Amino acid sequence: MTQVSGSWRRAAAGARLLGADGEVASTIFAEMSALAARTGALNLGQGFPDEDGPEEVLEAAREAIAAGRNQYPPGRGDPDLLQAIAEHQRRFYGIEVDPGSEAIVTAGATEALTATLLALLDGPDDEVVVFEPFYDAYAAAVGLAGARLVPVRLRWPDFQPDLDELDRAVTDRTRIILVNDPHNPTGAVFSAGVRERIVELADRHGAIIVTDEVYEHLSLDEPHVPIASLDGAAQRTVTISSGGKTFRTTGWKVGWVTAPQDLVTAVLTVKQYLTYSGGAPFQPAIARGLRLSDAFFSGLAGDMRAKRDLLGTGLRAAGFDVSRPAGSYFTVADASPLGADDAAQLCRELPDRAGVVAVPLSAFVTEEHAREYRSLVRFAACKRREMLEEAAARLATLSA
């Protein structure tokens, strides 16, 4: 137990990691990976790939280290990576970004999100509308900023928000509508109607839209549509992404922000005092990645589509009800047909019962709504085929 006072408590409490005894838990991802390591279970918990990404990208990082690119890169980011980000936004989405003033590089999407939320929120009167379940870092950063989280629920099995609930959530107190699309942990891809309503509401109430698009190249059934590409959206949208998922380099932590100049300046002001800059040799490597051929990007989505289907089939055969994710690394399954109404309990037992690790959805929701997600489990499909097949075989023993 620690008695140290400070805003760390708000971060931990925001992410529901602060116990009644003042003890701080580790994140659900770290906890589940440690459980997998301890038990030797297959780790379908933490969302990281178990294979390397494209060789050209890895080689570019080696070349950059050998060429001495080992000192601080510019605070805004390597100019060639900024250029590659602008090219990427034009090539895939027709969005024009000025690389000199409308983009910055960050230490992963996590720093981009934290810097953006800290930069744009100004205390307890500011509200952030967020789609629940949500990635744990959102609540922690909103907590650090001392602002208020307003959750809009995504409900099993399609996880699209109810538009009336969304209308009620966004008010003149809303400073930010935070959108993660494709969505972790549900795998949802928002419908065109939902995207349009978000822009309409932001416009009506003077809110800023912050998008987390780290799974942009893992939209599995249709091309990804960034909110910034919608009519009237660009001037009020901060778009965040990262190379981690796209190039299977989650440990490199190269992310970026694109937004109108005044918003980028605000985010950069905070970002420069968080890390200033980082990842010097990885920045040119991610620039190489962003310029890879269309075949690479479609191959990535095709590979994940096949893995989603494989995992879904395995989970259904094991007796779960399974949602059909349209994007991301993840599939959500309902464990109640197996007689397991408490997914948190099931996830603690799963390594012993079946040699598999997964994450309960209750880790991504507010206390208030935890019951609604109680029997749901998130499985990560970003693993080798053999591993998914083995996991399916092991899970089949659950209902045997």
Give the binding site for ligand GLN (CB under 6 A).
27, 29, 46-47, 184
Q: By CB under 6 A, tell whether 290 contacts ligand PMP.
A: no
Shortest distance in whole angstroms from residue 108 CB to ligand PMP: 3
Query: β-pairing, 254-258 with 103-107?
Result: antiparallel
Q: Which residues contact 247 (CB under 8 A, 6 or more apart)?
A: 53, 54, 57, 286, 289
Beta carbons of 281 and 64 less than 8 angstroms apart: yes
Of the pair 242, 258, the CB lying nearest ligand PMP is at 242
Name the segment binding ligand PMP (CB under 6 A); options: 68-76, 102-110, 188-196, 287-295: 102-110
Q: Look at the alpha carbons of 267, 273, 275, 277 in this order and tell me if their dihedral is positive or negative.
A: positive
Shortest distance in whole angstroms from residue 74 CB to ligand PMP: 20
Of the pair 29, 296, the CB lying nearest ligand GLN is at 29
Instruction: Report CA-CA distances (Å) from 78 to 66, 243, 282.
Output: 17, 14, 10
Name the segment binding ligand PMP (CB under 6 A); options: 105-113, 165-173, 279-287, 350-358: 105-113
Q: Is 371 exposed, middle or buried (0-12, 13-18, 19+ CB in 10 A)?
A: exposed
Beta carbons of 385 and 367 less than 8 angstroms apart: no
108 binds, among ligand PMP, ligand GLN, none (CB under 5 to 8 A by kind): ligand PMP
Of the pair 47, 325, the CB lying nearest ligand GLN is at 47
Name the segment binding ligand PMP (CB under 6 A); options: 16-24, 108-116, 169-177, 347-355: 108-116
Shortest distance in whole angstroms from residue 136 CB to ligand GLN: 7
**Dmax (CA) of the chain:** 60
Give the C-alpha separation, 193 to 196, whole Å: 5
Of the pair 285, 398, the CB lying nearest ligand PMP is at 285
Contact residues toward ligand PMP (CB under 6 A) are 47, 108-110, 135, 180, 184, 212, 214, 242, 244, 250, 253, 255
